[in-house]
Structure formats: structure tokens, C-alpha cells
A and B are shown apart, each in its own frame.
Chain A
Amino acid sequence: MEKALREKARELLTTGEANVIIGYEWNRRKTRATPAFITKADEVDRLIFNPLCVNNLSIYLTRKNKDILRMGKPAIVAKGCDIKNIVVLISEGQVKREDVVIIGMSCNGVVYKQGLWKGELRPEIMPVKCHNCDVRNPHLTDFVIGDHIDFTPPETPRGMVFDKIAALDAKTPGERWSFWLEEFSRCIKCYACRQACSLCYCERCITEKNVPQWIETSAHQRGNIAWNLVRAMHLAGRCTFCGECERSCPANIKLNLVNQKLVLTVKDAFDFKSGYDEKIHPPMIVFSPDDTENFIK
């Protein structure tokens, strides 16, 4: 698989179809995969692909990373889950489809904790998103690397996040509120969640707007709640559940919980799941006469 990937990368760079390959390489100690930006054809052998290739590289297509945009036309190594984010970026006008080459990777799942990886992919060490993955064969690509994978996700999504959502839903609004107060009180306002998220592409985040300062920047109850709730609402109908925000959070705030809850809510209300059709604008903004909810008419 890696061989095919390297060949494709070499071909793209030599023909000039792409100027930079955004992919994965080993860190120095060969313990984890880190992002790689390959511009020369003779360096393609650095590229790797294995279950440690967790990072959602689509953030390198956004305006947050101007230095990478300046490298020229990108070809991005992307798993199905990463492609979902690229789809949202295209639908929101951040990337033009013709401006990016998508090298789709067939993927059997990833491993978050590199210590547990012993060269064999076992279900116990895969995150929830992989168990419920419906894009193991990538959906929007220019090329697909790897064999076709036969895998059908469970009809109703399963896993810890979904159990917790059900448990939270069973509580009273008051109990839920105190749960989230407790959860967000750990926030240290490092904004790692925002930095890791490719859909948080605003050049000036609302939290940085200071005339007036809607969101308090200090890591204090009021600012924490405002920030986390605003971010959740800004992702409603857009979040693809790639899980990068929770993975990057140093305070272990259960961001997947709030984001996945909104994914389910949007699915119920609008029958929409983000990340599948690059021609459809996310639903929270769109008014359509065919909207299912009659109260809007």
C-alpha cells in the first residue's frame, strides 16, 4: 500500500499535477506518524501509511496554514473520515475541488494510543468512529490506494460516546447543565480544539473579536462556557465526528460528546449528515421550501 502511495506521489510531483504532497511520515523515533509535506519527487519514500496515521490532514488545506497554501497545488493523503472534512470545506467555498488532488486511502481503522499498536489492528484498540465508519472505502477521491474493504457499519451507531449521550439524555436539564459546567470548568482556553479542527478555519475566530469582546478570554467559568458552547453551535450541522478536537484536548473535555449530540440532532431535524455531498451547503443556514419542519413555513 505504501509502495503504491509513493509511486502515485512520485508521479504527481514529476508531472507537476501537484506541487506538494500532504501525507504522513515517521517521527524520528519511529513511534508515531506525523504530517509530512513533500515537494521533491526523490523524497516520496518518506511517506508512510498505517493505523497510526491518525491526524486529520485536511487542516492543511485551510487558510489557517498560509505557508502550506503557498507551496502550490496540494495532493492530500486522506482517509474517508478526512475526506468528509474536505467535502465540508468545498461546500463552504474554502477549497475548490479542482484545486486539490485527493489521494483516498482504503482504511481498516486507526489506533489512537500508539503504545497499544503491536503491528496488528484489533477492534479493542480502535476509536468509536472507526467501528461506525461508512467510508472505509473513500468517497470523494481522484485516486484510491488500497484494496476494496468489505465492512458494513452497524445500523444504529454504537460505542461509548453514544452510550454516554443516551445516559445524558435521560437526565434532567438541570443535571445536564451541571455535568457540562463541571466538564467545561477544566478548560484552560488553549484553543487546541480549534487549532486541530479543519472546520474552524476562520482567520479571526469569534473569541478573538474584541470590539466588543463577546467571549471572555480568561479561563474562567463564564468564558469557558461561552467558548465551548459557541464552538459547538458553530459546528452544528458541519462537524463530521473526526474526533480531532477531543484527541487534542489536554484537559480531556468530552468534546465528542457535545459534537456528536449535535450531529444526531441535525440528522433528526434535517435528515442531513455532513461530509458526504460537496455540493450541499450545511443545513443550519439554508432555507429550503422542502425543509421537513413545517413550522418554518
Chain B
Amino acid sequence: MSRIGVFICQCGTNIADTVDTEKVAEEMKKIPGVVHTQDYKFMCSSPGQKMLKEAVKKHRLDGMIVSACSPHMHEKTFRRACESAGINPYMCEIANIREQCSWVHHDKTKETGTVKSLDLTRMTIERLKKNQPLKPNKIPVNKRALIIGGGIAGIQAALDIADGGREVLLVEKTPSIGGNMAKLSETFPTMDCSQCILTPKMVEAELHENITLMTYSEVEKIEGFIGNFRVTIRKKARYVNEELCTGCGDCWDKCPFKQDSEFEHGLKKRKVIYTPFPQSVPNIPVIDAPNCAMLQKGKCGVCAKVCGPKAVDFEQKDIVVEEKVGAIVVATGYDLMPNEHFGEYGYGRIKDVINGLQFERLASSSGPTGGKILRPSDGKEPQSIVFIQCAGSRDEKKGVSYCSKICCMYTAKHTMLYRHKVHDGQSYVFYMDIRSGGKRYEEFVRGAIEKDGAMYLRGRVSRVYEKDGKVIVQGADTLSDSQVEIEADMVVLATALVSRPGADTLAQKLGIGYDKHKFYNEYHPKLKPVETVTAGIFLAGTCLGPMDVPESVAQGSAAASKVLVLTSSDEMIKDPTTAIVNDFTCNACWDCVVACPYSAIEKTDIKDREGNVIRRLAHVNDGVCTGCGTCVAACRSKAIDLKGYTDEQVYAAINAF
């Protein structure tokens, strides 16, 4: 007969208001196998835990029930207390009589709440009687880390992990690391030059002995599990030998063909053999294969002729490599919402309507105009600019429902940059609300309005059209309740931040969740902001949702600290509540293999002494299994059980109801 202790928590008045805990304690004593019951004000407090441990010794308990809050809150606390008192921690079960009982009952006579608490506790007692002691799994940990995305979040994570003494593989899709931050002119609220603060980090990442850069590369496949991932990476053909190239620039000087520059968002041309920007890391060009005359038609080859070290190699092919890592940080960043969303604002149709990143390039001293604000259509200095905030954001019908968060700040910054460069220029800002929460952010916006003369108009723009070389903006000013028409020289849209195209495909490869906007889901929005549901995979930066540079950096460092925690020991302890296959009843129909969202189930062969396959079975890899139970539900012959939640336990609990 088991010797079970039942501890009922009053949780101050949280539970005691609608549940008669004393009566629960009294009633539970009558159940066979229960040798001790007790109720107390706060079981999770240190006197409460002490009481619990003493009861274990005094009554020689071999299992315990804590009827208290959700197991999400204190299951760990009580299981730890159990362990220190000498019982297997998995012989401690929580009956949730707070979230699932006292909080949803408002009956102050305590009648209904008490009845339900009795049921819940009794069910858990019967369930506990079928519990088996479990031992945590230990899995070896590979100490290398993979970072996907070389923007500021990815670079920060890479540097921190590398400084912590671990090897890092930084994979970037484009020819250079730096991401969107490299395109910015100045950064709010301190107005320091973006490149000046970013490029030292880029160079550090390039030179760091623990960091291997893989630019112009993409992750194709991810297999394995926490501590033991196998990643297939496609290194796209650069057509330039990275070992030989010195980055002298002779090739792109001489290349006769031009294309729109992605980095300059179409405001400038680049050559077909190019580096995205002068400070590119690595400073090794790539050939834009679809537009290269030599690669397409076999005619030209000028770059190869002028290349001193003979680094241009038209025969180069994509290389697919497999790397083993223990942890993955996803930092794939954001894109701006594509222009077709803004028909009424004329984006893509009127040349002088540009987006925020294009304005950053115009204002940047390394940009297409050398830092002069000149409008794209005729290269004249605009005397007035209209900034339209929330272009696509907070607009469920035409755009996205969320706030893109950084636009209020960067628009204020744009008005400042404009006034600093064009002293008599007038800027107008159409806004819905000004959201400037953050250290020194509100002061920054006030400065734009008060010192730099930006005129803020609260209202939406209905139409933008061209007339006599001007861009006419019609809108409403809701504060003065009037219609406004502004003859502007240029319009800047604070376009919504959206997830990267293909973000969902990558998420599916990684087995991590994403929301309807294809931003990745954190494990817990408050308490686990950089973890994902898949152990060993962490998130940083704008792939999670809109955020600014300081937040992205903080997240990069946070993800790095998680990776360092994971790789701090050779082995990792993992929860033993995993699925287990009954070898005798498995039919090898592979329903579980197909159903498992974590690819944790493998097909194995059972062989006889001669090595002939006599049977095939499903086998659960404890390292990958998260104990979600999908396979248990899928198995027709009930050949899979979930340790800690076995059929027997569930059945016993149901029967006790």
C-alpha cells in the first residue's frame, strides 16, 4: 500500500475564499493509501516546504499530492522539495485547485469549489498510485552554435557566444553581414552614425577566432535535437575564390553591366560583380549570376581578366556542407511591407514617394547622394517632405493589425535629419498616435517637434498624387477637425515591418512556431522571450516581431546567454516525461513517425543473429521527444505510452471521478 501525503494550499485567500481546504484535508484522509493530509496558508513558502519535507520523514511518505496552483507555477518547486526529502521527484503530483477551481468559482459558501477540489484531489491521488519513479535523461551536448542571420542581433549573439569560448557558425543569406542596420544613417535617440557603431562589430565577428562566417549561404535542412543538431548548409556559388580574393575592387570597377542595388533599395545601381556596400564583411564580391553576361551567354569575362590574384572562377558551383551544432539562434530579421500595398499613397508609381529605409539611404553619408537629401525624380533638394506614419501598420483591412513599433521614433529622427541637412525645409508628419515609450525616446520626439520644427498632424492621408512636379498629399487633421492638402516635394512612408519571405518555410524546417504574420513564436512572451518550443533553438531580433536596435542587441545577448548555459556542461539533463513504444505491440504502421512534430520517432530494425531483419519497430529518441503526446493519440494499437502520463494513470484518474 502506498503512503501518500496530501498537502492543500490556501494560497492566502486565492483558494481559501471559495474552497474549504480544511474539509478537503479531512476528506482525503479517508482514501486508502493516504497517510497524512494537511492544509496551509502558502505551501510554496519556505515554512510550507519545510513542513512538507518534515512530513515525508515523519510519516515515511513515498508520494505526495500538492493541491495548489497550476503545475506551470510550482510543480518544479515541490518536486525539488520532494527530491531533497528523499523521494523521487516524479512521485509528486499537483492537483490544480486554483486556476481550474477556486478562481472560476464565485460561490462564497465554498460549496461548489470544495466539491470540485475534492474531485480533483481524489483523481490525482488515484493517478499518483500508478506513478513510476522516473530518472532524468542525460544527453551529450555539442558545444558549437549556429546563428542564422548576420544582422545586428545575430552578430551580437555570435560575439557573446564566441567570447564565452564556444565556436560559432554565423550563416548569412546575403553576400555580407550587417543586415538592415547597415543601411541606417543615424540611430535614435543618440543620433550616432549607424555604420560607425555597427562596422566595428562586423569586423570583430570576421576576425574572431571562434567565429566562422558563412556568407551567401542558406540553411537547407535541420535534423537532430538539442545538443545534437545536424545542419545542411548550401554555400551558394560566389564565382569568386574567397581564399585568393583581396577585395581590391578592380573587378567591379571594370564590370560593364549594372543592376539596381538591393542595398540602396533601388536608389542607385551596382555592378554585376559587387559587394553590397563599401564596408561589407567579408569584403569579397559575388557575381549576380542571372545578370552576368559571361555566365549566361559566355561573353565578357572582363572581371576575370583584370583580377590580379585570378580569384574570379566562373566554374564555381554551390557547395552543400553538413555541420554539427548543439544550439541554434535564429535571427533572420525583417523586411518592409512590399509596395503593392500602398496604391493610394502612390508608392512605386510616384518616384518621389519612398519608404523609410530609402530615406535612411538618402540621409546616409555613404548613400547614393553622399548624405544630401535629394529627391529621386529630379535630384532637387526637397523644400518640404510629408512623412506618413502607420503605412500598413495598425490597419487590419489593408495591412497588418500590429504596430510596427519603431516608425514613430525613426520618423522623428527623419524630420531631424532633414532639418539638419536642409535648414529651411519643412517636414509634416501624419500620425495616429505617437508611441515613444523608452528611455529618452519621448524627449527625442519632443525635440523633433519643438527644436526642429516638424509639424505633426494627427490624422490619416487619403490620397497622394502628382501635380506639376509636386506631390500633393490630401489628408485629415483630426485635432483641428479640418481637411488638409499639402504640396510637398517628397513623401516618406513609414512602411510596416513584416517578416521575411520564406520565414514560414524556415520555421517548418526548424520545427518552431510562428504567428499569422509569420513572426516566430517565443516559448513564453514574458518569461521565456528568446526560447522556442523546440529545445535548443533560440530567437533574437526582429524575426520575433518589430523591435529597435537596442532591443535586438539585448535579445542577441539574451539568446547567447541561453546558448552558453546549454553548452556549459558536457551533458544535458532532460525531463524524462517522454513517449515510449511497447516493442511487442508496435505494428510499424509509422503513423507515429508521420505524426510526430519533432521528428523524434525513428524506424528501427530488429535483427536476428544472422543480421536478417525480422521486425521493424518505431523507436522514440528521448533527446528529441518533448512529451507532447501526439504519437500516443495517433497510435491505433495503443502501443505508445507517455512516461508520467501513462494510460494507466489517466484511466485511474478518470475512474476516480
Contact = CB atoms under 8 A, between A and B. Distances in A.
Interface string B189-200: 000000000000
B637 interface: yes
Nearest to B592: A285
A214 B650 CA distance: 11
A211 interface: yes
B640 to A, nearest CB: 12
Contacts of B647: 209, 211-212, 214
B636 A281 contact: no
Contacts of B616: 93
A292 B330 CA distance: 29
A203 interface: yes
> By DSSP majority rule, is chain A's interface helix, strand, loop, or mixed?
loop
B585 interface: yes
Contact of B638 (A214, A287, A289, A297): A214
Given A211-B648, A212-B648, A93 B590 contact: yes
Contacts of A214: 638, 647, 651
Interface in A156-213: 201-206, 209, 211-212
B651 A94 contact: no
B597 A204 contact: no
Interface string B612-652: 00001000000000000000001011110000000110011
Task: Select the residue from A94, A211, A281, A285 with max chain B CB neighbours within 10 A.
Answer: A285
B172 interface: no
Contacts of A285: 591, 594-595, 634
Contacts of B109: none
Given A94-B589, A285-B594, A206 B648 contact: no
Given A214-B647, A286-B594, A203 B637 contact: yes
Nearest to A89: B589
B508 interface: yes
Contacts of B648: 211-212
B504 interface: yes
Interface in A239-255: none
A93 to B, nearest CB: 5
B637 A94 contact: no
Nearest to A213: B651
A165 to B, nearest CB: 24
B587 A202 contact: yes
Given A211-B648, A214-B647, A234-B636, A203 B591 contact: no
B651 A204 contact: no
A204 B639 contact: yes
Nearest to B514: A297
B572 interface: no
A267 B651 CA distance: 34
Contacts of A286: 594-595
Nearest to B597: A287
A92 interface: yes
Give chain B's interface residue range (CB within 8 Å of chain A): 20 to 34
B350 interface: no
Given A204-B637, A289-B504, A94 B587 contact: yes
A269 B638 CA distance: 26
Task: Select the residue from B597, B616, B647 with max chain A CB neighbours within 10 A.
Answer: B647
B85 interface: no
Task: Select the residue from B589, B597, B652 with max chain A CB neighbours within 10 A.
Answer: B589
A95 to B, nearest CB: 11
Contacts of B637: 202-206, 209
A273 interface: no
A139 B634 CA distance: 29
B233 interface: no
A63 interface: yes
A234 B589 CA distance: 12
Given A211-B648, A214-B647, A93 B638 contact: no
Contacts of A206: 636-638
Interface in A270-297: 281, 285-287, 289, 297
A92 B504 contact: no
B588 interface: yes
Contacts of B634: 285
A203 B639 CA distance: 10
Contacts of B504: 289
Contacts of A211: 647-648
Contacts of A281: 590-591, 594
Contact of A202 (B508, B590, B636): B636
B409 to A, nearest CB: 33
Contacts of A234: 636
B638 A201 contact: no
Given A202-B587, A285-B591, 7 more contacts: A93-B588, A93-B589, A94-B587, A204-B639, A212-B652, A285-B634, A289-B504
29 contacts: A63-B587, A92-B590, A93-B589, A93-B590, A93-B603, A93-B616, A94-B587, A201-B587, A201-B589, A202-B636, A203-B587, A204-B585, A205-B637, A206-B637, A206-B638, A209-B585, A209-B647, A212-B647, A214-B638, A214-B647, A214-B651, A234-B636, A281-B590, A285-B595, A285-B634, A286-B595, A287-B595, A289-B504, A289-B508
Interface of A: 63, 92-94, 201-206, 209, 211-212, 214, 234, 281, 285-287, 289, 297
Interface of B: 504, 508, 516, 584-585, 587-591, 594-595, 597, 603, 616, 634, 636-639, 647-648, 651-652
List the 5 closest A-B pairs by CB distance, nearest first.
A212-B651, A202-B637, A204-B585, A92-B589, A285-B591
